Amino acid sequence: MILAQFAHFASHASSLAMFQDQQASTDFSLVGLWGNMGLFAKGIAVVLFIMSIWSLAVMIDRYLYFTAARKQSREFAPKVAGALKDAKLEEAIKIADRSKKSHLAEVVTAGLQEFRSSQGMVTEETIESSKRALERAEAIVHAKLKRGLSVLATIGATAPFVGLLGTVMGILNAFQQIAVQKSSGIAAVAGGISEALVTTAFGLLVAIPAVMTFNYFTGRVEAFDVEMDNSSSELVDYFIKQSHKR
Residue 184, classed as helix, strand or coil, is: coil
Is 25 domain-assigned? Answer: no
**DSSP codes of every residue in 170-237:** HHHHHHHHHHHHT--SHHHHHHHHHHHHHHHHHHHHHHHHHHHHHHHHHHHHHHHHHHHHHHHHHHHH
Q: Is 223 within a domain? A: yes
pTM for the predicted model, two decimal places: 0.76
CA torsion angle 73 79 81 86 (round to 10): -160
User: How far is the C-alpha of 52 from the C-alpha of 188, rounded, in Å?
Assistant: 32
Rounded to the nearest 5°, which phi and psi values hold at 69? -65, -45
| Residue 78: inside a domain | yes
Q: What is the pLDDT of residue 204?
A: 93
- Helices 186-245 and 149-181: crossing angle, nearest 10°? 170
Predicted local confidence at residue 2, as pLDDT: 44
Q: Which of 116, 52, 128, 102 is nearest to 231 (CA)?
A: 102
Residue 190 lies in a domain: yes
Question: Based on the number of CB atoms within 10 Å of its own CB, is 1 exposed (0-12), middle (13-18) or buried (19 or more)?
Answer: exposed
Q: Are 177 and 188 in contact (CB under 8 A)?
A: yes
Task: Say if 23 falls within a structural domain.
Answer: no
The whole domain housing 197 covers 37-245
- The answer as to whether 9 is a domain residue is no
> Is 147 inside any structural domain?
yes
Amino acid at the residue 240: I
**pLDDT value of residue 3:** 37
pLDDT of residue 66: 95
User: What is the per-residue pLDDT for 52?
Assistant: 95
Name the domain count of the chain.
1
Per run of 10 residues, the mean pLDDT along the chain (length 246 residues) is 41 43 49 67 88 96 94 88 81 85 89 77 80 92 94 95 86 74 61 74 93 96 93 85 68
